[in-house]
Amino acid sequence: MGKSIGIIGAGITGLAAAFILSPKHEITIVARDMPGDFGTGWASPWAGAVFHPQSAATLSQQGMQKACFEFYWALAHRDPSSGVKVYPMTEYFDDRLDDSTIWYKGWMPEYRVIPSSHLPTGVKFGVNYTSLAMNPLILLPWLKETLVERGVKFIRSEVKSIAEAKAITKASIIVHASGVSAKELAEDRDVKPVRGQTMFVKTDFSRLVMREGSEYTYVIPRAASGGVIMGGVKSDRLDAEVDVDLKVDILTRVNRITNGAFMNVDLNLVEDIVGFRPGRDGGPRVEREGAVVHAYGMGGAGYIYSFGAAQKVRELIDGPEWKAML
pLDDT in tens, 80-110: 999 999 999 999 999 999 999 999 999 999 9
Q: How far, rounded to the nearest angstrom, does the alpha carbon of residue 248 sit from its chain's CA centroid? A: 25
Q: How many CB atoms lie within 10 A of CB 238?
A: 10
Q: How many CA atoms lie within 13 A of 47 on its CB side?
A: 28
Helices H, strands E: what count in the chain? 7, 15
Which band of pLDDT confidence, cut at 50, 70 and 90, is reported for residue 275? confident
Indicate whether this model's pTM tops 0.85.
yes
> Any idea which of 87-91, 113-117, 286-290, 321-325 has the lowest mean pLDDT?
321-325
What is the model's pLDDT at position 276?
84
Q: How many CA atoms lie within 13 A of 126 on its CB side?
A: 20
Q: How many CA atoms lie within 13 A of 15 on its CB side?
A: 21
What is the model's pLDDT at position 235?
66
165 in Cβ contact with 4 (< 8 Å): no
Between 39 and 71, whose confidence is greater? 71
- Kindly report the average pLDDT of the chain as a whole number: 93
Q: How many CB atoms lie within 10 A of CB 114?
A: 15
- Binding site members for FAD: 159
Q: How many CB atoms lie within 10 A of CB 131?
A: 24
Q: CA-CA distance, 298 to 286, in Å (whole number)? A: 10
- Binding site members: 159, 218, 277, 300
Q: How far, rounded to the nearest angstrom, does the alpha carbon of residue 321 sit from its chain's CA centroid? A: 26
Is a pLDDT exceeding 70 seen at residue 326? no
75 in Cβ contact with 223 (< 8 Å): no
Q: CA-CA distance, 64 to 71, in Å (whole number)? A: 11
41 φ, ψ to 5°? -75, -5
Q: Are strands 227-231 and 191-202 parallel, antiparallel or unpaired?
A: antiparallel
| CA angle (62, 68, 69) in 5-degree steps | 90
Q: CA-CA distance, 130 to 149, in Å (whole number)? A: 32
Tell me: cis bond preceding 232? Omega within 30 of 0 counts. yes
- Binding site members for D-dopa: 218, 277, 300
Which band of pLDDT confidence, cut at 50, 70 and 90, is reported for residue 44? confident
What is the model's pLDDT at position 236?
67
> What does the pLDDT look like over 147-205, one tens digit per residue?
999 999 999 999 999 999 999 999 999 999 999 999 999 999 999 988 889 999 999 99
Region 249-255: mean pLDDT is: 96
Q: CA-CA distance, 212 to 131, in Å (whole number)? A: 17
Q: CA-CA distance, 278 to 292, in Å (whole number)? A: 19
Distance in angstroms between the alpha carbons of the first and the last residue of the chain: 21
Domains with residue ranges and CATH for the chain: 4-318 (3.30.9.10)
Of 260, 251, 277, residue with least CA distance to 191 = 277
Which band of pLDDT confidence, cut at 50, 70 and 90, is reported for residue 311? very high
Of 243, 254, 141, 240, residue with least CA distance to 201 = 254
For a pLDDT cut of 90, what percent of the chain falls above it? 83
